[in-house]
Amino acid sequence: MKINGISYRSLWRPSDDASSIRIFDQTRFPWAVELLELRDVDGVAEAITSMQVRGAPLIGAVAAYGLVFALQDDASDDALDKAATFLVATRPTAINLRWAIERMVKHLKAVSEAGRVAAGYAEADAICDEDVQVNESIGRHGLELIREIWERKGRQGQVNLLTHCNAGWIATVDWGTALAPIYMAHDEGIPVHVWVDETRPRNQGSLLTAWELGSHGVPHTVIADNAGGHYMQAGHVDMVIVGTDRVTAQGDVANKIGTYLKALAAHDNNVPFWVALPSSTIDWRVRDGVKEIPIEERSPDEVLFMTGLDSQGDASRVRIAPLGSPAANPAFDVTPARLVTGLITERGRCEASEAGLRSLFPDTP
């Protein structure tokens, strides 16, 4: 995707410094576009935990390079296992992280120690390239849905979508998941408008999704997290579309905190609620998402403080709760499959159920 007319991926290996990677520091968007150079495993772990890099598919891809960095001095099985455990623990809910690390470890254990760094870079590069292709396919399948809505509306007015958090190109290597169909619909000339949930407490909606959509020229409106139900009742939402950090074998969906409430409101108002995901987000080992998916608990400060722009254009923090009041900060919640209209994957759409997922992925053990 483009920033100021220049095409970027959200992660790349510069040709003149190919043993490092570049990412955007996502804690600086939209105030500034700043690159971060990563070349060791600790730097990668820190970028993931601080959320300088975020979004389930992207943290998986970045962690894959982190594993290679860890092998530069010691490429033994022990070093590989240790680095893998370290990286997987950086964020517990997004399964793409574990998926990428397990793929890398399996691949590298079949290679001699001497060849592991080179093989690691090649495999991490492949993960990135595949992510781009997969998201493009998700975009095409999701675009069909938006087209159907547009046709049903007799090509009148606009298609109103609502999204939560940021599942756009900066959350993946490129395109995004939930936003990919929206970009494609806009590019094809379908008049889309997106209600963007602010997504407290870290405001990925108002800071990141609004910035992405605005940069691409997609009409959008930032709304308070609590406003979505109201707009659904008023008939102003044709479809909810979100990304996800983990989908279970029975189709339960973990995503940014607040997603579940949007699904409940959508269900009550007969608004279709779709979830876009690459197959690397499916955790075939768990079924009941509410009971089995670990939910990341983040710092209470993310709830107790808000970050905004001061008059100089610098980010500043203000406290929004009394001194001494504690806060709790679960970063994700689980939407049960029964509230999900369907899943959009790189292989097409399916019902959010074991049968639905198996119909698209019969080859997965």
Positions marked catalytic: 245
Residues sharing a CB contact under 8 Å with residue 170, sequence separation 6 or more, in sequence order:
10, 24, 26, 29, 55, 58, 176, 208, 212
Residue 87 C-beta: closest distance to ligand MRU, Å? 15
Of 9, 45, 52, 55, the one binding ligand MRU (CB under 6 A) is 55
- Asked whether residue 103 is marked as a ligand-binding residue, the answer is no
- Restricted to residues 89-118, the positions that interact with ligand MRU (CB under 6 A) are 94
CB 254 within 8 A of CB 333: yes
| DSSP code per residue over 109-136 | HTS-GGGHHHHHHHHHHHHHHHHHHHHH
Question: Does 27 participate in binding ligand MRU (rule CB under 6 A)?
Answer: no
* Contact status, residue 254 vs residue 244, Cβ threshold 8 Å: yes
Measured distance CA(275)–CA(342) in Å, rounded: 7
| Residue 177 engages ligand MRU in binding (rule: CB under 6 A) | yes
Q: Are the CB atoms for 173 and 61 separated by under 8 Å? A: yes
Whether cis (ω within 30° of 0) applies to the bond prior to 201 is: yes
**Are the C-beta atoms of 64 and 123 separated by less than 8 Å?**
yes
Q: Return the structure tokens found at 86.
A: 């370290």
The distance of closest approach from Cβ of residue 85 to ligand MRU in the complex, given in angstroms and rounded to an integer, is 21
Our finding on whether 54 is near ligand MRU (CB under 6 A) is: yes
- Under rule CB under 6 A, residue 48 binds ligand MRU: no
130-156 core/surface letters (b: 16 or more CB in 10 A; e: else): ebbebbebbbebbbebbbebbeeeeee
Identify the DSSP state of 92: S
Interaction between residue 248 and ligand MRU (CB under 6 A):
no
Could you tell me which residues are beta bridge partners of residue 24?
A: 35
Say whether residue 237 binds ligand MRU (CB under 6 A). Answer: no
Token pair 């504690």 in the structure block, residue = 326
Among 92, 229, 243, 258, binds ligand MRU (CB under 6 A): 243
| 204 annotated among ligand-binding-site residues | yes
Q: List the one residue from 256, 266, 345, 353 that touches ligand MRU (CB under 6 A).
A: 256
**With respect to ligand MRU, which residue has the nearer C-beta, 55 or 356?**
55
One of 52, 255, 280, 341 touching ligand MRU (CB under 6 A) = 255
54 is in an annotated binding site: yes
Candidates 39-47, 106-114, 170-178, 356-364: pick the segment binding ligand MRU (CB under 6 A). Answer: 170-178
Binding mask 188-207 for ligand MRU (x = CB under 6 A): ----------------x---
Closest distance between ligand MRU and the C-beta of residue 76, in Å? 32
Min CB(55)–ligand MRU separation in Å: 4
Torsion of CA 123, 124, 127, 128, to 10 degrees: -140
* Residue 82 · residue 71 · CB < 8 Å: no
Q: How far is the CB of 242 from ligand MRU (least distance, A)?
A: 6
Contacts to ligand MRU by CB under 6 A? 54-57, 94, 165, 167, 171-172, 176-177, 204, 243-245, 255-256, 331
